[in-house]
Structure 1
């Protein structure tokens, strides 16, 4: 999706829409032309896109295609702790916005970007093959293509390019062939994702932190929602194999009063413990705790993914640059991974356009480093925050539980903090509180 977003962005800008773009992707769904049927249950693989990502899709002309398929905007979010000691609710109106985000199936995002690209009057071609090898050629009389990257494909043919963009995921072949090393670690956690159905339409994003990881309930349209449930590998194996009836019971227990009591809205005598710090009465600090809708059935298979954090030590070499999961992978607890990737695509497209404007070679490392210098600090900041959350909620310890509850209450009642958190999560700010 991130690579297609970059191609759409390049096709949309006057300075870059004459570039000859080749998309190498062996995914058979790319050229299948299969229709997405609204009457079918949503696919469990979804993304929560932020207002900043929505704006990017609108700018490149892809969002109109998303709106032709199933998607679900949400204007509220509730986050709480299993101990019952704290919760916070976020509302789009707190930052004068209509929505906090939108949940979209990955296949809808991919199909929309492909439709956008196919409608563009640009020079682009899709190669449904795998990348076998990549070499950087130096200019000489014996190399007719000059100083270019040579890409050998699995069908035996070769391409030559001024710039190779690795947007091929966490196990990036481009990164491997370029010899770019990474830093990171595996979490002792897996995520179960699936589609569920409930008795009423859901228009809120819910997340509860449990002893072994968070569970999120995300609206996906009609009476369907998406579950992203983080737990240890042993639990994920057990829950994947249990019956549907038992699994639905486990979901409802995890989202309601299992593991601990529900938070109450009157824990502090109806008064904010931070009332002296709250000066902005326009923000929704007094919203009471709500119970998520009850899950009635499982509407898809259960898929299990191991979780990890990984960051490329370099984003850019001569004629080679990484974006999206090829450059960074994060914990899914805040749904920020794909939005970080779309931010990479937008930044790289602008840097390429700026380079063309001043006559620079688009594969020059000095130009590509400008992209890296913009995105690396932003991505590292987000990765540090998400990793900190993961570690803070991986320990069940009394005093730490109280501190976490205090953090929830602070986010609920301190208006400037709440507004900064929302703006940061929506993609409008880089660093909370300081930007």
Structure 2
């Protein structure tokens, strides 16, 4: 009996053997001979594929910041760096080495990256490229209400950190990730094209990685076929949609979404001060928040949320009038400066002062005055959208393709980066145990990790948006109490900072 069991186990182990690589380790763009096949089937494979069809382990559709974060992470991990990857994006910057000059004016499109994101960038070696270019760490943040009833200050020292975050131009983040990937021997092919169609068979048949024919692989659901706008086609075991809020991958794969448009637009631009700004500022106004974010060299970035008509009016203003409007919104406009507490003297929270954080003892400050517009103004609509599923057989969504959020806390890109790094780890786990990297059971592990965290963040941001979109007396008092509570209650303040910095998964006390 024992010998019989031993023989069966040996036979099963051979049948389920893990191939050394999903595909050949030769340079990308090889012909179909790069697919591992049995000699008796090699001729069949060549006949069933066109000469210009290419085979890849992973096809990343969308080479923006989040897509490049995935590629960079795959390029750096031992288990994934041998993968053959296609990146599909018509942006010419991907083909040509980006050149960023420090003397160039800042781009108005920036991101506030959290300490958790910075740690991920450090892990793959991309952060060193960010540090070579313009960026601005900030160690304090002030948030207040236009009614003058409440405010709160957050400081990195409240959680024993050196910084709350870092504001970086999107082009610098993109350059850092692209440079990091290019400085490896990663097998990548960049297609300067657009995805036009995609065929994914969702059968539940075998997922063995050593199948003998590409046609068999495709028919059994082991490859996805992608057709591009330049007429070329390629096959991949896994297609990753990182192509933004209007994702073509999401559409073609049939993922349903839930969401709505906000009755707001955001206007963004770069402004200049006479002194360097080292604090992140956010004021909630009747029509939406305005944020002033430092980006270094006496420059700051404005993200101002308002009604579509107001955004159109602000966008068409003369520069001097716009600067006046910005300073009005950040100073005495719409209401007075807040006092130290809801009652003006701190008595309502005086019993908490003994345990208050050091930042709670800091008084309200006025943001630095804006003196010049340093970039063009850009306007874009705001919405919330969430894919009901992040993964199906052969397809996974990351970043804005999976979720878009209100920009009031600058969390959207951090959510996307965490998606990218989480998916790369799941792919590595699949390779480690010999699982087909496009198998839905593996990809659902990525979804199970990221979906709850993203939904929680989206709920928090949407709640803030709705709470500060109503100008009503009793609600104003409740909001002011919330500001003061966050200002004086140390556990609450630390929890908020830790959650916003990505170090705590849920916005709870600890």
Q: Could you state the TM-score of these two structures normalised by the residue count of structure 1?
A: 0.97
Partner of 1:74: 138
Alpha-carbon contact 1:197-1:295 (below 8 Å) kept: yes
Whole-Å Cα distance in 2 between the matches of residues 85 and 187 of structure 1? Answer: 26
Q: 2:100 aligns with which of 14, 36, 40?
A: 36
Whole-Å Cα distance in 1 between the matches of residues 100 and 145 of structure 2? Answer: 37
Q: 1:119 aligns with which of 180, 183, 191?
A: 183
Distance 1:362 1:266, change over 3 A: closer
Partner of 1:25: 89
Partner of 1:97: 161
Q: CA deviation at 1:283?
A: 3.8
1:346 and 2:421 matched? yes
Trace 1:200-211 onto structure 2 (pairs within 5 A): 200-211=275-286
Whole-Å Cα distance in 2 between the matches of residues 218 and 156 of structure 1? Answer: 44
Partner of 1:254: 329
Partner of 2:128: 64
SS in 2 for 1:134: strand
Whole-Å Cα distance in 2 between the matches of residues 346 and 11 of structure 1? Answer: 12
Q: CA deviation at 1:432?
A: 1.2
Distance 1:78 1:272, change over 3 A: farther
Partner of 1:418: 493
Partner of 1:84: 148
Q: CA deviation at 1:145?
A: 4.9
1:226 and 2:301 matched? yes
Whole-Å Cα distance in 2 between the matches of residues 401 and 266 of structure 1? Answer: 14
Alpha-carbon contact 2:268-2:301 (below 8 Å) kept: yes
Q: CA deviation at 1:143?
A: 1.3
Partner of 1:4: 68
SS in 2 for 1:69: coil
Partner of 1:290: 365
1:148 and 2:223 matched? yes
Q: Which is further off, 268-277 or 135-144?
A: 135-144
Alpha-carbon contact 1:145-1:160 (below 8 Å) kept: no
Distance 1:101 1:158, change over 3 A: same
Alpha-carbon contact 1:279-1:415 (below 8 Å) kept: no
Q: CA deviation at 1:219?
A: 0.3
1:187 and 2:187 matched? no
Alpha-carbon contact 2:129-2:176 (below 8 Å) kept: yes
Alpha-carbon contact 1:18-1:123 (below 8 Å) kept: yes
Partner of 2:14: none
RMSD of the TM alignment (CA)? 1.5
SS in 2 for 1:273: helix
Partner of 2:194: 130
Q: 1:20-50: CA deviations, max 9, x gaps?
A: 1111111122223241111121000000000
Q: 1:258-281: CA deviations, max 9, x gaps?
A: 000011236646435223345634
SS in 2 for 1:162: strand
Whole-Å Cα distance in 1 between the matches of residues 244 and 73 of structure 2? Answer: 19
Alpha-carbon contact 1:272-1:413 (below 8 Å) kept: no
Q: 1:369 aligns with which of 428, 438, 444?
A: 444
Q: Which is further off, 257-266 or 280-289?
A: 280-289
What stretches of structure 1 of length at least 5 have no aligned partner? none
Whole-Å Cα distance in 2 between the matches of residues 371 and 190 of structure 1? Answer: 32
Q: 1:102-133: CA deviations, max 9, x gaps?
A: 00000000011000000012211211110111
SS in 2 for 1:37: coil
Whole-Å Cα distance in 2 between the matches of residues 242 and 412 of structure 1? Answer: 36
Whole-Å Cα distance in 1 between the matches of residues 426 and 77 of structure 2? Answer: 12
Partner of 2:7: none
Aligned length: 435
SS in 1 for 2:435: coil
Whole-Å Cα distance in 2 between the matches of residues 281 and 214 of structure 1? Answer: 27
Whole-Å Cα distance in 1 between the matches of residues 354 and 92 of structure 2? Answer: 55
SS in 2 for 1:275: helix
1:47 and 2:116 matched? no
What stretches of structure 2 of length at least 5 have no aligned partner? 1-64, 206-211
SS in 2 for 1:89: strand
Alpha-carbon contact 2:142-2:154 (below 8 Å) kept: yes
Distance 1:43 1:375, change over 3 A: same
1:170 and 2:242 matched? no
SS in 2 for 1:8: helix
